[in-house]
Each structure stands twice: as C-alpha cells, then as structure tokens.
Amino acid sequence: MAPSLQTHFRRRQGVAIGVAFVVALALAWTRPWTSEVPAAVGSGTQAASPGGSAVPRAAASADPVPAWLAWMPGGFPEGFRGDAADAGFDTSVVVAGDTLWLSASRDRDGAVVDRPTPPFRIPIDAFAVEPSAYASFLPDAYRDQVIGALNRGRAVLGSTSGKLRRLGPGATLVFGGVTVRVGAVVPDEVIGWSEMLVSREVGAELGIEHDRYLLALDADLAVPRFESRVRRLLPPDTYLRVVAPGKTTYVRVASGVNPPVVMKEVFGEFAAAPRADDPAFFTMDPAWYDAHIVTQRVPILGQVTCNEAFMPALRDALREVVRRGLDRLISIYSGCYAPRTVARRTTAPPSQHAWGAAIDIDAPTNGYGDTTPAIDPRVVRVFDRHGFIWGGRFLIPDGMHFEYGEPDPST
C-alpha cells in the first residue's frame, strides 16, 4: 500500500521539528491508510534502480535555499519572465511548468518499464528552468549534479518520481515523439517537488509553455515590499500569492496544496486519455478506476464515489460533524471523483478530484469564486482537524471544496 500523507508529513518535517514531535504526531494523528515508510532522503543509503544503477541518497542537506516565492493561478502573463529579470531582485528565476503525457519509459539498458496501453498515457508534472538562473536556488550539495544534467539536455527527477517511475540515471522517458534521458535523481524538495525538471530548451521541445512561479533572493525584502514589486509586473487585481522564505512546505506553484507526486504516491498513479471533445476532462484507465474508486455510504451525504483510501478520513470527519450536532448545516453532496484538470485548464495538473480525493459540499451556496463562502466555520474546523484543506482559503475561493492535506495540530 502507498505511503500515507501522514508519512509524508513526518518525513518533510522531521529534520526541522525534531524526532520527538514526529513521534507525537504519529500517535496523535493516525490516518486510515498505513504502509512502510520509505528510506528517507539523506539517510546515507542507496536505493537500487532498474538496470542496476544506484540512486545516491547523500547525507548532505537537501533543504531548499530560503527563497521568496510568488505564483498566480493559470500562470504568469506573457512577458513576465523578462520583466521579473529587471525587477531589481538580487537574484531571481521564473519556473515554467505544464502537464506532459508519458507514453513510455525504459531503463538504462533499454528495457520497457512503463508503456500504457493506447490511448492511455501517464500525466507528469513537469517544469523547465534556465539552468544558470536556477543555480542560485539549489543547495550546495546538489547544485553541480542538477545543473550539469540540465546543461547536458537531460531530465532531473525528484526522488519520489524516480521511485514511482522505477527509473534512475540513464533511463529514458518518452513523450510522444520526444525522448528525454534521465541525468539525475535528487530529493523532491531540491527541485520544488516536481516530477521532472528540464532546461528551458528541452522544455520547449516537450511543449512546456507556461511560466508558473517566481523565486527570488533579496536580503532587503519584507512581504509587502516583495508583493508590491511583483504586482507592478502584473495586470491590476491579479490573484497573486506571495510566500516568505521558510513559510511553506512546497516551494512551488500551488504551494498550499499537495503536489501531484504526493497524490500519486498516496492515492495511486493513473493513466488516462484527455477527451477529444474537452481535453480538460479525462477518460480514465479502467484498471486504475476499478482498483481505486468505490461508491460507499457515509454519514450525512449518503452514497459518494471517491478513492477508497480517502473514504476513512471523510467518514471520520462527517461522524464528528454529526457528534457536534452540526449535520443540519450540510445539505447537498456536490461530488467527489471527477476526472479532470485543475480549474479545467488543459495544461494544468489533474485536480485532486481526479484521484477521488476531494469532496464538494453545498455547491449552490458556496460557488467557485464566491468571496464569502456560506459554509459554517464550525464545519470547516472539523474538516481541518481531520487533515482536509478547505478551498475557501484558496486564492480564488472555492468554498464547497475540501481536499485531503495533512492534520492541523492547531485546531
């Protein structure tokens, strides 16, 4: 069984907050899914990859460089990258990213590892950078490895992606008519929890077009000043999220939610085919659907169709809603499993709904974009306690939406 989100929480936070707190969290926040905990990056061990190559697990720090982060839904407008370079930051880089569709992969000896049955392919969360600009944002221990691979036209995989793909250096990834060789596998946080990082040049060949987030280094910044400097480069009233160094687990676009690679490891990786009539919606591989998507009865909402691994947490949250006498505040089940992209944008990553790992409640009174969602805050607090992320706090509010995140010990 795949590692739980609690496992990811322990692994991400353990170094920073100490072993004792991790153990306390493990006891206090037992989740409905369990598994072995994979070897932690930085353990000094090596994980064997297909073809006999070894993925190094260096003991050196993989902590991200403490950078300022800015992103906006849908990506920055055309010309932003050039404007950001002239915005007066000490150092900055704009990272492009789009969903690519993997048609095959081979290990370093040429043996097929993945080859989904056509028309199905595997969505990959891929990003592209200018290597020289990105170098300042890499930990010393991994800078030469990452930049060397990018400059050679090779892909860098995050460690979770490498594990999911069962690939190491020398392997190849095939995206339609373009093949990319893997040059390195590094800890997830080194490359912003992306599944695959390539140079801008290779990214253009693959079809990575949209600038997704900005990283900046500047000793003379505070949040208002950073936000003001970025906003000057954007149209008025743009939805913009800025994050100070060290204030988010995921230093990347959509920094407040779990990236696709985490969702894959917990809820299962699927192959799919974008629908011809609307490529923002998928036809899912029936084998994945049958293995992961179930229809079960839960309190208040009745029959719901979600990922089987998501059901226990949803059921526990709704039971607490009932125990607290708040069930009268929820009227309508508005959906869970929905195979589509985020915000129905064709190049965006799959929505958490595509995994069946998000629930919509009372959509008529909590519409997407409504600035004052009507859902009762007491209900929100219950879902917070059970590890859900509420869409009412998103940049573009989505008050009906609750997706699985991680437990919040403060609520």
Sorted by where each begins, the domain ranges of the chain are 5-47, 68-243, 277-404
CATH class of the domain at 277-404:
alpha beta
pLDDT for 64 equals: 85
Res 175 pLDDT > 80: yes
Confidence of residue 37 (pLDDT cuts 50, 70, 90): very low
Average pLDDT value for the chain = 87
Query: Averaged over 302-318, what is the pLDDT?
Result: 97
Q: For residue range 119-171, what is the model confidence (pLDDT) as tens digits?
A: 999 999 999 999 999 999 999 999 999 999 999 999 999 999 999 999 999 99
Pick the more confident residue, 11 or 352.
352
Q: pLDDT tens digits, residue range 200-209?
A: 999 999 999 9
User: Residue 75 in contact with residue 212, Cβ under 8 Å?
Assistant: yes
| Confidence (pTM) | 0.86
Q: Which residues pair with 243 in a beta bridge?
A: 69
Please say if the pLDDT value at position 19 is more than 50.
no
State residue 61's pLDDT score. 77
pLDDT confidence tier of residue 408, bands split at 50, 70 and 90 = low
**What's the residue count for the chain?**
411
pLDDT at 81: 97
* pLDDT score for 409: 52
Q: What is the mean pLDDT of residues 49-56?
A: 31
Q: What percent of the chain has pLDDT over 90?
A: 81
Give per-residue pLDDT as tens, 364-389. 999 999 999 999 999 999 999 999 99
**DSSP bridge pairs for 398:** 368
Confidence bin at 220 (pLDDT 50/70/90): confident
pLDDT in tens, 272-282: 999 999 999 99
Cα–Cα nearest to 123, from 293, 308, 340, 294:
340
Q: For the beta carbon of residue 94, count every other beta carbon within 10 angstroms.
A: 23
E-only strand ranges, 130-189: 155-158, 172-175, 178-186
Q: Which residues of 261-288 are buried (b: 16+ CB within 10 A; e: fewer)?
A: bbbbbbbbbbbbbbeeeeebbbebbeeb
Residue 49 has pLDDT above 60, yes or no: no
Q: Can you give the pLDDT at residue 406?
A: 77
Distance separating alpha carbons of residues 44 and 57, to the nearest angstrom: 5
The pLDDT confidence band at residue 24, using thresholds 50, 70 and 90, is very low
pLDDT per position as a tens digit, 228-267? 999 999 999 999 999 999 999 999 999 999 999 999 999 9
pLDDT of residue 407 exceeding 60: no
Q: What percent of the chain has pLDDT over 70?
A: 84
Joined tokens for residue 178: 């373009």
